């Protein structure tokens, strides 16, 4: 058995550049030599960079019999003649080494060292390959479904990637063998092993999908200024066009919604609002609150707050299911938005919160007003959990308020 046969499996199929592989092989075999002979000074390790073949030669000066003073660097004439009968005194004797010269244990140790070094290099290669691709869209095949994560084989490299269940969209249902898309969210080392994390809930996933579906974005004519999402429920995207002739919202939606429909299906029917970006803050907030129609708006630049006034029938649209619309509009614009009913257009069958001061404490009414609820119906229009979250009031307090306000309209 020769060295090439023994280590042939390391010559092919490795994602490591050839010069690096040559250095690793040479280093491993020089270590083998040092363990047996104490030094590798008089040895040549030759790796053929074309086919990966590897040879080791021991080089010693031929001296007359009985005059060997250093066995590492010298060989007697009679011993050299046993290797090649054409050798003469004063020449260098080249002796080819075989595996048998090192012994089975040494060879096994060398093989294990080589395997370990190759694995380390392959791990480094995976890390380097993906660390610069954070935010890129990946298409892969689901290889395994675990309780807390889904394992995905990258379709391009066959590397195994990890998608935590928390990074999947509500409504995602996977089976082994399904193809799935996601973005690389981060790459980290765990106990020396690179772990590539995928996400379908990250804002960049929607951004990459839009780049794929809208040629004007890929060409740089339209730019995505900001994306905010409640994955699987609602998203808002601000876009801007660098060509006055192109409507960025229309281009992103496509003819009869042709471009956006595919994205919506991929995101499990996530409702996507696309708005024109502008530096005009009142106009930007007005657009961000779509589909609600605003009557008027006032801006507090110092505290980055906006007071928005709407007709009563528009309040629930502005707030959205579970507060999703106003929450995303605030994140998109960077302004805390307070919604108020337009008093001039207040419905006759509604009651101002101040009318309930005998039953509801004044400080509770003040908190409700701060979140834009100044009438009974505006409070009742909100989801119980949303009221608790936005007011930070106790559950019992909210339940009491809802009971008192609802009793006002019991006859209806």
Residues 17 and 29 in one domain: yes
Residues 140 and 122 in one domain: no
CA 273 to chain centre: 24
Domain count, the chain: 3
**Is residue 390 assigned to a domain?**
no
Residues 180 and 124 in one domain: no
Residues 183 and 218 in one domain: no
pLDDT value, residue 3? 46
- DSSP H helical ranges for 174-239: 203-213, 215-218
**Which of the listed residues 88, 108, 129 is the one where a domain comes to its end?**
129
Residues 211 and 194 in one domain: no
Report how far residue 315's alpha carbon sits from residue 303's, in angstroms, rounded to the nearest whole number.
23
**Is residue 39 assigned to a domain?**
yes
Indicate which CATH number applies to the domain containing 189.
2.40.50.140
**Is residue 359 assigned to a domain?**
no
* Rounded (10°) CA dihedral 203, 207, 213, 217: 160
**Is residue 387 assigned to a domain?**
no
Indicate which CATH number applies to the domain containing 246.
3.30.300.20
pLDDT value, residue 347? 44
Q: Cβ distance 42 to 57 under 8 Å?
A: no
Residues 22 and 105 in one domain: yes
**Which of the listed residues 228, 249, 277 is the one where a domain comes to its end?**
277
pLDDT value, residue 14? 54
Q: Cβ distance 285 to 298 under 8 Å?
A: no
Sign of CA dihedral 367, 370, 371, 375: positive
> Which residues sit opposite 275 in a β-bridge?
238
Q: Could you tell me the residue range of the domain that residue 217 belongs to?
A: 205-277
Report how far residue 234's alpha carbon sits from residue 267's, in angstroms, rounded to the nearest whole number.
10
Reported as half-sphere exposure (CB side, CA atoms, 13 A), residue 336 has a value of 10
Q: How far is CA 81 from CA 65, 70, 93, 329, in A?
A: 11, 18, 9, 90
Report how far residue 227's alpha carbon sits from residue 220's, in angstroms, rounded to the nearest whole number.
17
Residues 237 and 182 in one domain: no
**Is residue 186 assigned to a domain?**
yes
**Is residue 335 assigned to a domain?**
no
**Which of the listed residues 129, 155, 177 is the one where a domain comes to its end?**
129
Report how far residue 329's alpha carbon sits from residue 296's, in angstroms, rounded to the nearest whole number.
16
Report how far residue 59's alpha carbon sits from residue 27's, in angstroms, rounded to the nearest whole number.
18
According to DSSP, the β-strands at 54-63 and 74-76 are parallel
Report how far residue 114's alpha carbon sits from residue 307's, in angstroms, rounded to the nearest whole number.
68
Report how far residue 264's alpha carbon sits from residue 266's, in angstroms, rounded to the nearest whole number.
5
The secondary structure of residue 410, as a DSSP letter, is T
pLDDT value, residue 352? 81
Q: What is the pTM of this model?
A: 0.64
Residues 97 and 168 in one domain: no
pLDDT value, residue 13? 46
Report how far residue 121's alpha carbon sits from residue 113's, in angstroms, rounded to the nearest whole number.
12
Report how far residue 18's alpha carbon sits from residue 293's, in angstroms, rounded to the nearest whole number.
64
Report how far residue 234's alpha carbon sits from residue 170's, in angstroms, rounded to the nearest whole number.
12
Name residue, tokens 């092919």. Answer: 12
Tens-place pLDDT, residues 75-112: 999 999 998 888 899 999 998 887 777 777 877 877 77
**Is residue 31 assigned to a domain?**
yes
Report how far residue 191's alpha carbon sits from residue 243's, in angstroms, rounded to the nearest whole number.
50
**32-56 exposure pattern, b = at least 16 Cβ within 10 A, e = fewer:** bbeeebeebebbebebeeeebebeb
pLDDT value, residue 52? 57
Residues 104 and 166 in one domain: no
Residues 38 and 120 in one domain: yes
Residues 123 and 143 in one domain: no
Give me the residues of the chain with pLDDT under 50, please. 1-6, 11, 13, 345-348, 412
**Is residue 347 assigned to a domain?**
no
Indicate which CATH number applies to the domain containing 120.
3.30.1480
Residues 97 and 163 in one domain: no
Q: Cβ distance 400 to 368 under 8 Å?
A: no
User: How many Cβ atoms are within 10 Å of 11's Cβ, its own excluded?
Assistant: 17
């Amino acid at each position: 058995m020769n060295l090439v046969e023994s280590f042939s499996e390391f010559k092919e199929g490795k994602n490591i550049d050839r010069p690096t592989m040559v250095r690793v092989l040479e280093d491993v075999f020089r270590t083998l030599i040092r363990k047996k002979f104490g030094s590798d000074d008089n040895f040549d390790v030759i790796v053929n960079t074309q086919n990966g073949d590897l040879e080791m030669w021991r080089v010693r000066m031929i001296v007359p019999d009985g005059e060997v003073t250093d066995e590492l660097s010298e060989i007697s004439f009679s011993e050299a003649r046993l290797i090649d009968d054409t050798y003469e005194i004063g020449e260098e004797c080249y002796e080819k080494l075989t595996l048998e010269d090192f012994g089975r244990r040494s060879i096994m140790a060398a093989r294990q060292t080589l395997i370990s070094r190759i694995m380390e290099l392959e791990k480094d290669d995976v890390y380097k390959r993906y660390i610069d691709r954070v935010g890129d869209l990946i298409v892969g095949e689901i290889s395994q479904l675990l309780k807390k994560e889904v394992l995905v084989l990258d379709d391009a490299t066959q590397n195994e990637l990890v998608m935590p269940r928390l990074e999947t969209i509500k409504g995602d249902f996977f089976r082994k063998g399904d193809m799935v898309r996601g973005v690389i969210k981060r790459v980290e080392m765990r106990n020396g092993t690179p772990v590539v994390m995928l996400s379908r809930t990250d804002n960049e996933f929607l951004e990459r999908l839009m780049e794929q579906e809208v040629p004007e974005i890929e060409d740089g004519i339209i730019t995505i200024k900001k994306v905010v999402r409640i994955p699987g429920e609602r998203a808002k995207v601000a876009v801007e066009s660098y060509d006055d002739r192109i409507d960025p919202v229309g281009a992103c939606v496509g003819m009869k919604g042709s471009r956006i429909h595919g994205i919506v299906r991929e995101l499990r029917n996530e409702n996507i609002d696309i708005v024109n970006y502008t530096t005009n803050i009142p106009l930007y907030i007005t657009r961000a609150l779509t589909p609600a129609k605003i009557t008027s708006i006032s801006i507090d630049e110092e505290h980055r707050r906006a007071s928005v006034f709407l007709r009563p029938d528009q309040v629930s649209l502005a707030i959205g299911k579970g507060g999703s619309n106003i929450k995303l509009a605030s994140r998109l614009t960077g302004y805390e938005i307070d919604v108020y009913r337009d008093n001039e257009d207040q419905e006759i069958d509604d009651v101002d919160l101040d009318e309930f001061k005998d039953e509801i404490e004044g400080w509770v009414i003040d908190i409700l007003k701060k979140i834009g609820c100044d009438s009974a119906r505006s409070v009742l229009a909100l989801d119980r959990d949303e009221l608790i979250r936005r007011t930070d009031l106790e559950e019992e307090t909210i339940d009491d308020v809802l009971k008192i306000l609802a009793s006002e309209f019991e006859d209806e």
